[in-house]
Amino acid sequence: MKKTILHATWATVAALSLVACGGGEDASPQGGPPIVVNADGTTNFDSTILATSLSALSLEDLSDAEKTSLAYMREEEKLAHDVYTQLDTAWGGQVKVFGNIAKSEATHTEAVRQLLLRYSLTDPAANLSAGVFANATLQQLYSDLLVQGTPSLVAALQVGAQIEELDIVDIETALETVDNQDIRLVYDNLMKGSRNHLRSFAKTLAQQGAAYTPLYLSQDAYTAIVSAPIER
């Protein structure tokens, strides 16, 4: 995940406006997104709808930036799953958010894996166990986040918010260079899921009498996301 803190995030605000209007680029060719959004905001990819949506789109040439992005995104989504699984072991007796979102993240990393298969690209996460990453930056981040989330439930929830916030920034950055329709379809829905999950962590933090200060999004962009309703 990128170390540069981004403050210009009007793309996020624009995306929220599109959602409010019922539009956006996340719709599948069948007229609905390939995701299922639960009442608590957890956002899962539906593998059947995703497969149908992808098959309706033509294969396009991949740029080097798109190849790099897919490999990174596959492991970034795996990182979210693996961290939440560990935090659920530590704090799941008090809140359900980690276990619920970990299940969602498993569908997110699988969605990216389907794109790797579609383009016959090497899967960097193939045969890697939980907590193990091919990308050295993500490997270190995994360890750092577990240390950050260990002291208290609030600290763990703040780690969850940090992961989702950073996912949003990374996907926004990737979409600046990705133009293949199938990749954009998956990425747009990954970002919707991250916004929903950020809302879930912010809500759970509020229930604990705590808050979260964004590290990567601007305060305005963060507030716009967590103040908006769950996206369907």
Bin 38: left if φ > 0, else alpha if -120 < ψ < 50, else beta: beta
| Best CA proximity match to 69, nearest among 207, 179, 174 | 174
Q: Which residues contact 10 (CB under 8 A, 6 or more apart)?
A: 221
Question: Which pLDDT score, from 0 to 100, does residue 33 have?
Answer: 85
Give the Cα-Cα-Cα angle 122, 125, 128 (nearest 5 degrees). Answer: 130
Task: Using the structure block, give the residue that is written with the tokens 């040439």.
Answer: 61
Residue 29's pLDDT band (cuts 50, 70, 90): low
Question: Which pLDDT score, from 0 to 100, does residue 214 have?
Answer: 98
Average pLDDT score over residue span 85-95: 97
Residues 106, 108: Cα–Cα separation, whole Å? 5
Helix (H) or strand (E) holding 160: helix 153-174
Tell me the pLDDT tens digit for each residue of 121-150: 999 999 999 999 999 999 999 999 999 999
**pLDDT of 23 higher than 90:** no
Which domains can be identified in the chain, with CATH numbers? 10-227 (1.20.1260.10)
